[in-house]
A and B are shown apart, each in its own frame.
Chain A
Amino acid sequence: MNIISPKEEINRMVDGIHTILSLPEEQYNLLIQKMIPSDKTIESLRFYYLTDSCEVPTNPIQLGLEQEHDENQRYIGRSYYGGKNFSTHEILEYCQSMLNNYSTNSLEYSRISEILHTRDLTSFKSSYSSEKNINPMLLDKIFEILSSDDMLSRFLDYSNNTEIFAIDGKKIPISNYLEHLGKFFGNKDKDGNLSNSNRISSDFFIQDLEELKKRYLQIFDAINIDRYVNPSYTFSCGPNITDNIVRDGEEPHWEITPEIHETIFADMPQDLSLEEQAMYIYCKMCTIFSYDEGYMYRDKLRKVNYESTFSKEHLEGLKPGDKITCYDFSRIYAKLINGLDGDITAVMILEGGNEGHALAGFYTENVSAIVEAINVASDKDSTNDLMKAKNGISLKGIKTISDRLGIIEQAIDKVYPQILGKQPKSIKEYIQELKKIHQEQDVPNDVFLKLQSLLEVMKANNISGNEFAQTLWGVSKTKYFGDTKLERAYLGELQKDENGSEGYKRHILLRQPKQEKSQNFSREVYLIDTDTLDLKTCYEEDIIARLNSGELIYESEKYKLPGIDKEVEE
């Protein structure tokens, strides 16, 4: 609602309020009607002057409460802009302070009282109750808790005071209270303060609001209310803005195979809490499935589970021991968790706009966490939990969003050894184990096989190109190739595409310097494609011939192998 004052007399706030107080009866009654919150809208007050900028200056000038549409629904406002905006709370707070300026039987006093009443606690409760379809008695109880230290202390000891907080004679869970408390006041910011931009703080004027907030903060600190104040807790949004959350029932129905069900649940203790069950299922899944490394070659292999696409046929064919992708793991995990009895919910999180990776998330009343058994960021951790669980190593794929009491860690500590049949090993234990094993002696130094092994590992870790070249150089400085000091050079192989344009493919040429010469005095060399990491063995004369033909060129004069040059002839 726009309140238009003629010109600045004192300041925008005071002038606006004075204008309201001097409105004609009809306009004032309309304003009061609009101030009362409805189910759908809560009006704000905006104060403008006639001298403020507007977008439709040709429309007629209006003073007081600006009417926006005429009887023919034609827009007759002026669309003012600029000037400071005040929240309803600020305006009403100022109105409250003005009461002392007027006698109690004056028109101004009456109007101010009436305006304050449109946005007081009673109005808030009525509006909230109507909008959310909540029992008004529950709201009364909530504000009783927030207004009384005695009630607050009883609330903080809820389990021993359930009768006090029963509604209509029925005991209700504390979560019913926490849900609404969280909606009223929200989360703390990084400085530990509550926001002033939520509805109760900005659209209403409630006496002693700060006292109510202080008591709320006591509840916030004592009881885990995160579920009701943190959107990430219930995965209203993913960790990243482009993530897509898939909830139970949003994909077509499918059934987990009985074999998987049996393998996971057969030995699960019956007395586990919900969080312990969630961790048990996660750990167990990590032991019974392996990672499908074919996913590394997904651009060459077209398999349905190498993408986020749902496939009932694929999922219902999975069995324990199968190789799976992140999509499979997340779907199976979410389905198993959502099948548990109790207040626990799981979702699948598809990361990124291209849904190139999948995680799962779950939450209970006490905790919210993300589980990522298969991680893509190999620079952070080169092994995933599927490998770790099979070797009894501490799992790293569980990330908590909210866990005030450390429940997740305790749950893992309890269930993981049960699944492994032993405790996960510490570094100290591994070292003790290492010292008991003798080092292998007289291990042959087959450079070709070592090179082959190194290239396979690099391929598995998606290392190629210049990073491969640098890594190879770093490895060659260690004892990996024994005492052999490999000589290296960089070659470019001429390539022509369909359009005839030329380019060069990079290769690394390696040679063992002390290798005995073959019968025709041409030594064996290794040629590695830095992009595909394909390894070929050939002879020096082959390279010389290709250099002569121009098919290969040296990348620089600095890195050439002596004896291998297009000018050299045997």
Chain B
Amino acid sequence: MTQLSELRLINDSNILYLKKINRNYKRNEIVKNILDDETCFFKMNKNDAYIILQDIGILSEQIDKIYQKLISSDEFYRLFKSKKIDLNDKDILIQYPIYDTDDLFKNKKVDKYNDESIQNTMELIPYKESFIKKVLNKLKEIFKI
């Protein structure tokens, strides 16, 4: 279950509970409408996000951690890739840069492959048999093992 799904669940439960005890649940309904937008936390400032998380019932000591997860770059890229975030949407307040992977290495120079260049760059250390191995092999020879 995603973080946002859990928040929705808790908020829905709050609404149902408040209905059962005949108390006003208008705030929770507005929070429900906000949470319906999967990108909502990218469209509000930190203070407003904290108000909503407090309304849902998140403990004070956990709010910052949960908030950071909700607006993380991973979450942003996930929403962007699934076309739920439009970079031109003026409502998006929190954005991360989007890189075109073709551009990332376009200036990198790649040397043409040749044996000489490979040899120059690689350090080839010839294998040397250890002294103990030499002794053991000699013993094997002597005793014809």
Q: Is A437 an interface residue (CB 8 A)?
A: yes
**Cβ 8 A contact of B33, one of A393, A454, A467, A477:** A393
Q: Across the interface, do B31 and A434 meet the contact criterion of CB distance under 8 Å? A: yes
Q: Is A433 an interface residue (CB 8 A)?
A: yes
What residues of chain A lie closer than 8 Å to B52, measured between beta carbons?
Answer: 431, 434
| Bound Cα distance A449, B5 (Å) | 21
Q: A458 to nearest B CB, angstroms?
A: 7
Q: Across the interface, do B14 and A381 meet the contact criterion of CB distance under 8 Å? A: no
| Bound Cα distance A319, B48 (Å) | 41
Indicate with 1 or 0, residue by residue over A458-490, a CB within 8 angstroms of chain B CB atoms: 100101000100110011011110000000000
Q: Is B51 an interface residue (CB 8 A)?
A: yes
| Bound Cα distance A528, B48 (Å) | 36
Interface with B: A69-77, A87-95, A216-224, A439-447, which one? A439-447
**Cβ 8 A contact of A439, one of B27, B44, B91:** B27
What residues of chain A lie closer than 8 Å to B27, measured between beta carbons?
Answer: 434, 437, 439-440
Chain A interface residue count, CB cutoff 8 Å, equals: 44
* A residues 424-459 touching B (CB-CB < 8 Å): 425-428, 430-431, 433-435, 437, 439-440, 443-444, 446, 449-450, 452-454, 456-458
Q: Across the interface, do B57 and A393 meet the contact criterion of CB distance under 8 Å? A: no
Q: Across the interface, name the chain B residue whose C-beta is closest to A455.
A: B13
Indicate with 1 or 0, residue by residue over B23-45, a CB within 8 angstroms of chain A CB atoms: 11011001101101110100110
Given A477-B59, A478-B56, are A453 and B16 neighbors across the interface (CB < 8 Å)?
A: yes
| Bound Cα distance A427, B59 (Å) | 23
Q: B128 to nearest A CB, angstroms?
A: 53
Q: Tell me which of B23, B27, B30, B62 has the highest count of chain A C-beta atoms within 10 A of its own C-beta.
A: B30
Q: Across the interface, do A446 and B43 meet the contact criterion of CB distance under 8 Å? A: no
What residues of chain A lie closer than 8 Å to B8, measured between beta carbons?
Answer: 382
Q: Across the interface, do B36 and A382 meet the contact criterion of CB distance under 8 Å? A: yes
Q: Is A379 an interface residue (CB 8 A)?
A: yes
Q: Is B10 an interface residue (CB 8 A)?
A: yes
Given A427-B91, A430-B33, A437-B27, are A453 and B17 neighbors across the interface (CB < 8 Å)?
A: yes
* A residues 347-384 touching B (CB-CB < 8 Å): 379-383
What residues of chain B lie closer than 8 Å to A431, measured between beta carbons?
Answer: 34, 44, 48, 51-52
Given A381-B38, A388-B36, A471-B6, are A430 and B23 neighbors across the interface (CB < 8 Å)?
A: no
Q: Across the interface, do A437 and B26 meet the contact criterion of CB distance under 8 Å? A: yes
Q: A428 to nearest B CB, angstroms?
A: 7
Q: Tell me which of B9, B21, B31 has the highest count of chain A C-beta atoms within 10 A of its own C-beta.
A: B9
Given A382-B5, A434-B30, are A427 and B17 neighbors across the interface (CB < 8 Å)?
A: no
Q: Across the interface, name the chain A residue whose C-beta is closest to B9.
A: A457
Q: Is A338 an interface residue (CB 8 A)?
A: no
Q: Is A418 an interface residue (CB 8 A)?
A: no
Q: Tell me which of B27, B33, B44 has the highest count of chain A C-beta atoms within 10 A of its own C-beta.
A: B33
Q: Across the interface, do A457 and B13 meet the contact criterion of CB distance under 8 Å? A: yes
**Cβ 8 A contact of B43, one of A427, A440, A474:** A427
Q: Across the interface, do A430 and B34 meet the contact criterion of CB distance under 8 Å? A: yes
Q: Across the interface, name the chain B residue whose C-beta is closest to A481.
A: B57
| Bound Cα distance A439, B18 (Å) | 12
| Bound Cα distance A379, B4 (Å) | 10
Given A440-B24, A443-B18, are A479 and B57 neighbors across the interface (CB < 8 Å)?
A: yes
Q: Is A394 an interface residue (CB 8 A)?
A: yes
Indicate with 1 or 0, residue by residue over A400-439, a CB within 8 angstroms of chain B CB atoms: 0000000000000000000000000111101101110101
Q: Is B2 an interface residue (CB 8 A)?
A: yes
Q: B60 to nearest A CB, angstroms?
A: 9
Q: Is A391 an interface residue (CB 8 A)?
A: yes
Q: Across the interface, do A479 and B58 meet the contact criterion of CB distance under 8 Å? A: yes
Q: Across the interface, do A428 and B91 meet the contact criterion of CB distance under 8 Å? A: yes
Q: Across the interface, do B91 and A474 meet the contact criterion of CB distance under 8 Å? A: no
Given A393-B33, A394-B37, A434-B31, are A456 and B16 neighbors across the interface (CB < 8 Å)?
A: yes
Q: B1 to nearest A CB, angstroms?
A: 6
Q: Across the interface, name the chain B residue whose C-beta is closest to A442.
A: B23
What residues of chain B lie closer than 8 Å to A480, measured between beta carbons?
Answer: 10, 13-14, 57
Given A427-B44, A431-B48, A440-B18, are A391 and B33 neighbors across the interface (CB < 8 Å)?
A: yes
* B residues 59-88 touching A (CB-CB < 8 Å): 59, 62
What residues of chain A lie closer than 8 Å to B34, measured between beta carbons?
Answer: 427, 430-431, 434
Q: A500 to nearest B CB, angstroms?
A: 37
**Closest 9 A-B residue pairs measured CB to CB?**
A453-B16, A479-B57, A453-B17, A427-B43, A454-B13, A457-B12, A434-B30, A453-B13, A457-B13
Q: Can you give 27 A-B contacts (C-beta < 8 A)?
A: A382-B5, A382-B8, A387-B36, A391-B36, A393-B36, A394-B37, A426-B91, A430-B33, A434-B30, A434-B55, A437-B30, A439-B55, A440-B23, A443-B21, A449-B20, A453-B14, A454-B10, A457-B9, A458-B9, A463-B9, A471-B6, A471-B9, A474-B6, A475-B9, A478-B58, A478-B62, A480-B14
Q: A residues engaging B (CB < 8 A)?
A: 379-383, 387-388, 391, 393-394, 425-428, 430-431, 433-435, 437, 439-440, 443-444, 446, 449-450, 452-454, 456-458, 461, 463, 467, 470-471, 474-475, 477-480
Give 14 A-B pairs besides A379-B2, A382-B8, A470-B1 with Cβ atoms closer than 8 angstroms: A393-B36, A427-B40, A431-B34, A431-B51, A434-B31, A435-B51, A437-B26, A443-B18, A453-B20, A457-B13, A463-B1, A467-B1, A475-B6, A477-B62
Q: B residues engaging A (CB < 8 A)?
A: 1-2, 5-6, 8-10, 12-14, 16-18, 20-21, 23-24, 26-27, 30-31, 33-34, 36-38, 40, 43-44, 48, 51-52, 55-59, 62, 91
